[in-house]
Amino acid sequence: MRAKSIFFLFLSFCCQCFSDVDSNGTKVLSSDQRINGIDIQNAFGATKETAIKRTVRLLRNNKLIALGGIVSPEGYVLTKASSCVGARVAETHEGEKYDLKIKKRYEESDLALYKMISEGKTFPYIEWELENNASEGSWVIAAHSKLSEIRIGVKSGNDRAIGREGGVMGVLLTNDTSSAKGVKISEVVPQAAGYRAGLKAGDIITHADDRRVKNQDALIKIISNKDPGDVMRITLNRDDKIQKFLVTLGHRSVTFDLFNRNLQMSGSVSKRKDNFPIILQHDIPLPKESMGGPLFNIYGKCLGINIARVDRVTVFVIPASIAIECMP
């Protein structure tokens, strides 16, 4: 019944609140009545407060690096491990700040458990939704990164595993037949990892991570064991001179889809967005700094932890059934 009430309230706004007029003279909804407008946010009632009060901002040098969900009254916080490295302080919606202590990291799910250091403080904490009965198109809610508002969207894809993507240099290769005997770079993808490191077309790679490479297969085998964000030591021959470079590997999907219109519009994405045992998917417009925060259904129950901003319309979530295993 609550879902229907919110739906009809949303429709009533659409029918009654066309108060603004655009440059063509067309009547449009005012900003307060659009999907993430304040009036629509308030239509979710207590769930709005639940989402805001049970989410914290994780700071490093007073800068937001991730969100986290409070998972116990003692102040334990679950968040995205690869985003919160170096987090020192947790900040609540009221502006209260608490020092953080790392308890455990979970590599498979990219989750991390922290503890807010406080004396006798009792915190509001999330309640898990373990039935996993959210169907595609169901409303989902997450706190805004400033913890003063919420953001609203829908579950937008089937639950599924996300395989390991592997890191890439962003170069096209060919076996070299000259006396240098290595792997020749025939083309460098603009703005990709190799480009940023300084690699150029015509370079002949002779060593990767101090291991001799004589052909493409040998080089690809070394790279295949690495992930996006890993650093490779590359030794190459350029104009008969030996040079060394450090290449921070990129994401395959980003590197070779640089001209994809959706990705061009997406902005910053999560450093790790692959190799998850199972994920939920939604379309809430969240920045990558909002990863680690909890995702709620309309009843205020936590469906899981936002784990990866993939693009402007795709966020992956580690479901409650896995996240709850990281509880203290």
Instruction: List, in sequence order, every residue forming a beta bridge with 234; answer none if it has no partner.
Output: 208, 245
Q: Say whether pLDDT at 259 is over 50.
A: no
Q: Say whether pLDDT at 231 is over 60.
A: yes
Q: What DSSP string runs through 101-160?
A: EEEEEETTTTEEEEEE--SS-------B--S--PPTT-EEEEE-TTSSSEEEEEB-S--E
The predicted structure's pLDDT at residue 253: 65
Q: Say whether pLDDT at 251 is over 80.
A: no
In this structure, of 49-53, 129-133, 233-237, the range with the lowest mean pLDDT score is 129-133
pLDDT digits (tens, 9 = 90+) for 12-71: 545 555 556 666 667 677 777 777 888 889 999 999 999 999 999 999 999 999 999 999
The predicted structure's pLDDT at residue 115: 97
In this structure, of 70-79, 227-236, 318-327, the range with the lowest mean pLDDT score is 227-236
Place of tokens 């001799």: 212
Q: How confident is the model at residue 224 (pLDDT cuts 50, 70, 90)?
A: confident
Please, what are the domains in the chain? 2-42 (no CATH), 46-162+287-326 (2.40.10.120), 167-253 (2.30.42.10)
Q: Going by DSSP bridges, is the β-strand pair 231-238/27-28 parallel, antiparallel, or unpaired?
A: unpaired
**Average pLDDT score, the chain:** 88
The predicted structure's pLDDT at residue 180: 64
Q: Say whether pLDDT at 5 is over 60.
A: no
pLDDT digits (tens, 9 = 90+) for 70-96: 999 999 999 999 999 999 999 999 999
Tokens coding 79: 């968040």
Percent of the chain with pLDDT over 90: 62
Rounded CA separation 49/277 (Å)? 31
Tokens coding 261: 């219109």
Q: Say whether pLDDT at 10 is over 60.
A: no
pLDDT digits (tens, 9 = 90+) for 137-168: 899 999 999 999 999 999 998 899 998 877 88
Rounded average pLDDT over 100-126: 96
Secondary structure class of 218 (helix, strand, coil): helix
